[in-house]
Amino acid sequence: MRALSHAVRLALIEVLTVHGALTATQAGKLIGESATTCSFHLRQLAKYGFVEEAEKGPGRSRPWRVTHLGWTIEETSSDTEATAAGSALGEVSLQRQLQRHHEFNRRRSDYPADWQVFGGASQTVWWATPSEMVALQQEIDDLVSRFRDRLGNPEVRPSDASPVEVTILTHPFHPPESPA
């Protein structure tokens, strides 16, 4: 998880997920970083199994691809170092997601009319047990995963489809009570 807790590495994972295999130069242009920086971070991601070299490109080009789509942070580990790394990754990732959401809201009118009608936010509070929340989280994961095959297989994407990010946060509303 520490390998992903870096803004450039997260950006690389994101562009490889959305665009497919890219060289360090191509990825760098998309994320605003140099090819040298991207090459270093791609090698680090490969070291930890997040990316791998794709099929050889023309000449000396070296495209990279993600090894799996998406990830889940399990923060229930008894390993405090892993918990800290997961927490850091969650924070960096959430900030990037919120930044993209704010940017969409700021530029909503720049999008075609049929894309302007969604992308809002909703919030609610209700009473639930931990086991009910685990079940709800699984149902939400199942629901949003129904289009997951489109990430790795461009041939199944409808012609008018575009990458869409779904961020769902669940957490207790109040901090835990202090022991008496």
1-52 pLDDT tens trace: 667 778 899 999 999 988 889 999 999 999 999 999 999 999 999 999 999 9
Segment 91-115 mean pLDDT: 88
* Topology classification of domain 2-66: Arc Repressor Mutant, subunit A (1.10.10)
Q: Is the model's pLDDT at 55 over the cut of 60?
A: yes
Answer whether 50's CB lies under 8 Å from 3's CB.
yes
Segment 85-101 mean pLDDT: 84
Nearest 10 degrees: Cα torsion 83, 152, 32, 100? -70
The pLDDT value recorded for residue 147 is 83
Q: How confident is the model at residue 114 (pLDDT cuts 50, 70, 90)?
A: confident
Where are the domains positioned within the chain?
2-66
